[in-house]
């Protein structure tokens, strides 16, 4: 769930037939896509904090926003599952060079985990494989949650984006293939808060659940925490709702929803047959680019804690071409043997 890195778990390479089959399927998907209207792309720099809606993949959200902005280059900082909502930083132009900072940063999630059921995918989209009664006291829940604070060991979920033999694990999971030699990894849960719990005095038809806020390091799988918690409590659990509240130090109040973007009379981006039919063959309205650009954060928003150092045009050119700029007026305090990073800003 959290933005996992592109890591290969090793193993033998795939056969030639498997690779050809994958290529053929990708080609079929490309040919089946409806043609998009031709647009003139532009170079633009900045960061949009998108509040991703549910039931939309991170890549689909990225491609829509990139199309609306007419951007030549864009990427996002950390994949969210389709069922998840919340902060998805989208980087345009030169900001894509800073996307890794978002991937490596701490993240905060609010998750609702349903107790009493375990699923194949560890979330609400999977098939229920085990149903057990919920006989959990508040004390038992508190003691179980304590085991997930601080440094913990996690076995990567089969539904994660971690790669094995060049393919994400979730692709194997969709084919019913279990990769047995997934090595546990150390992650850190900086803070784990119990926001709500319905576990005691349950009546017939009542749904047992817990709602948690988790602040964690990169690579932490929230679905794995919920699944492991359910097993520790002896009743099973899976993710029912998931929202990413924060990525690094990006300002939460600057998030923008899809509805807010659409309110700018944006043209419909035909990403499937239904949307292509709605768009029709007629001309589409042009997006309000100035209004869209006003929603972007500057590149420095990715590193707000670094000291700003402004360079004039001459020094900017020198530094960007590998040279050094001497600034006698610049004084940066660094503790002994602790170099300090700064961000250089062109004075333009």
CATH of 107-247, one of 3.30.2350.10, 3.40.50.300, 3.40.50.620, 3.30.830.10: 3.30.2350.10
Q: Where are the domains of the chain?
A: 33-104+252-293, 107-247, 306-346
The reported pLDDT for the residue numbered 328 is: 64
The reported pLDDT for the residue numbered 4 is: 43
Cβ-proximal residues to 61 (8 Å cutoff; 6+ apart), any chain: 50, 52, 53, 76, 88, 90, 258
Residue 24 confidence class, pLDDT cut points 50, 70, 90: confident
Integer Cα distance of 334 and 336 in angstroms: 6
Integer Cα distance of 196 and 148 in angstroms: 17
Residue 108 confidence class, pLDDT cut points 50, 70, 90: very high
Task: Count CB-CB contacts under 10 A for residue 80.
Answer: 25
DSSP assignment letter at 297: B
Identify the residue with better confidence: 258 or 276.
258
The reported pLDDT for the residue numbered 33 is: 62
- Tokens at 73, concatenated: 């280059």
The reported pLDDT for the residue numbered 6 is: 43
Measuring CA to CA, which residue among 139, 94, 136 is closest to residue 113? 136
Integer Cα distance of 124 and 210 in angstroms: 14
Residue 140 confidence class, pLDDT cut points 50, 70, 90: very high
Task: Check 12, 51, 55, 81 and give the catalytic one.
Answer: 81
The reported pLDDT for the residue numbered 335 is: 67
pLDDT(198) > 60: yes
The reported pLDDT for the residue numbered 195 is: 98
The reported pLDDT for the residue numbered 165 is: 86
Q: How far is CA 163 from CA 41, 121, 294, in A?
A: 32, 17, 37
Q: Identify whether 81 is a catalytic site residue.
A: yes
pLDDT(36) > 70: no
Residue 113 confidence class, pLDDT cut points 50, 70, 90: very high
DSSP assignment letter at 13: P
CB 145 within 8 A of CB 233: no
Measuring CA to CA, which residue among 95, 71, 90 is closest to residue 287? 71
pLDDT(276) > 60: no
- Tokens at 260, concatenated: 């807010």
Collapsing DSSP states into helix, strand and coil, what is residue 115? strand
Burial letters for 135-162: b for 16+ Cβ neighbours within 10 Å, e otherwise? ebeeeebeebbeebeeebebebbbbbbb
Residue 108: phi and psi, rounded to 5, are -120, 130
Please provide the DSSP assignment of 93-106 as one string: GGGGGGHHHHHHS-
pLDDT tens, 237-257? 999 999 999 999 999 999 999
């Amino acid at each position: 769930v959290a933005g996992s890195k592109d890591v290969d778990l090793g193993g033998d390479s795939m056969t030639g037939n498997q690779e050809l089959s994958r290529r053929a399927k990708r080609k079929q998907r490309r040919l089946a896509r409806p043609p998009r209207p031709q647009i003139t792309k532009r170079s633009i720099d900045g960061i949009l904090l998108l509040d991703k809606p549910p039931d939309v993949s991170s890549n689909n959200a990225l491609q829509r926003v990139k199309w609306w902005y007419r951007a030549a280059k864009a990427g996002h900082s950390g994949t969210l599952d389709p069922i998840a909502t919340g902060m998805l930083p989208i980087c345009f132009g030169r900001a894509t060079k800073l996307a890794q900072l978002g991937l490596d940063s701490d993240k905060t999630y609010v998750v609702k985990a349903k107790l009493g059921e375990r699923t194949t995918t560890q979330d609400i989209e999977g098939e229920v494989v085990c149903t057990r009664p919920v006989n959990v006291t508040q004390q038992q829940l508190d003691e179980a949650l304590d085991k997930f604070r601080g440094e913990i060991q996690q076995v990567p979920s089969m539904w994660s984006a971690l790669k094995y033999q060049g393919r994400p694990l979730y692709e194997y999971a969709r084919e019913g293939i279990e990769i047995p030699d997934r090595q546990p990894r150390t992650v850190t849960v900086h803070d784990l808060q119990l926001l709500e719990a319905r576990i005691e005095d349950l009546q017939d038809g009542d749904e047992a659940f817990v709602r948690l806020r988790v602040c964690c390091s990169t690579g932490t799988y929230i679905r794995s925490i919920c699944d492991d918690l359910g097993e520790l409590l002896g009743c099973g659990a899976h993710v029912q709702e998931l929202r990413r509240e924060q990525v690094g130090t990006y300002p939460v109040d600057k998030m923008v929803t899809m509805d807010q973007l659409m309110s700018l009379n944006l043209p419909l981006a035909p990403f499937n047959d239904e949307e292509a039919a709605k768009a029709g063959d007629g001309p589409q309205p042009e997006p309000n680019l100035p209004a869209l650009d006003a929603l972007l954060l500057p590149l420095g928003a990715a590193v707000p804690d670094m000291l700003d150092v402004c360079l004039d045009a001459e020094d900017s050119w020198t530094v960007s071409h590998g040279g050094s700029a001497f600034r006698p007026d610049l004084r940066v305090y660094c503790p002994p043997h602790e170099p300090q990073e700064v961000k250089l800003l062109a004075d333009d």
